[in-house]
Each structure stands twice: as C-alpha cells, then as structure tokens.
Amino acid sequence: MPTSLSSIGNVSKSTGILILNGENDVQTPVQQAFLLHQRLNEVNHPDHTLITYPDLGHAFYPSSKWQTAFGPMEPDVLADLYSWLESHSR
C-alpha cells in the first residue's frame, strides 16, 4: 500500500472528509479518489463522502480525458460543496 494511503488510519474519526473528483481529471486521476474512499472504508472512518463528476477535469470544468480546460467551476460542484459544508458546520 502506498505510504500516503497507509496514514489514512491516523485521521481522527471526528474529521469529516469530502472527496470531489472530476472523472476526466488528468492531474489527479479519479482512480486515486476511489482508492482513498476504499481505504477510508477499510479503516471504518465514519464520515467520508465521495462525489465524482463525469466530463469534468481538475478545475471542475468540462474537459477531455487528454487535456484540462479552465473556466468557472460547474454549479453542481459548488452546490455539493456548499451542502456538505453546511451539513458539517457546528
């Protein structure tokens, strides 16, 4: 297991984790998000959420699998982020 994933078990169970990833992200492939999510399940982390976005790249803007395009972040991503932050505010 890569070192970065082996330290996931050290994350406090009270820390919420939101994983957002564009499925066409060439800088951080979506498979890495799936691996992180899997590892969080393996260590029984109680509060983690994975959301992926088809056709979006690293900047959460429509991109191909071969090239990152830049522009305003898609409203769905912002809505998901806002909703998660609101549900985790105390």
Domain tally for the chain? Answer: 1
**Residues in CB range of 90: below 8 A, 6 or more apart:** none
13 closest CA partner among 36, 47, 49: 47
pLDDT tens, 68-87?
889 999 999 999 999 999 99
Q: The tokens of 2 are what?
A: 């890569």
Domain containing residue 52 = 3-88
What's 55's domain CATH number? 3.40.50.1820
pTM, two decimals, is 0.89
What's the mean per-residue pLDDT of the chain?
Answer: 93
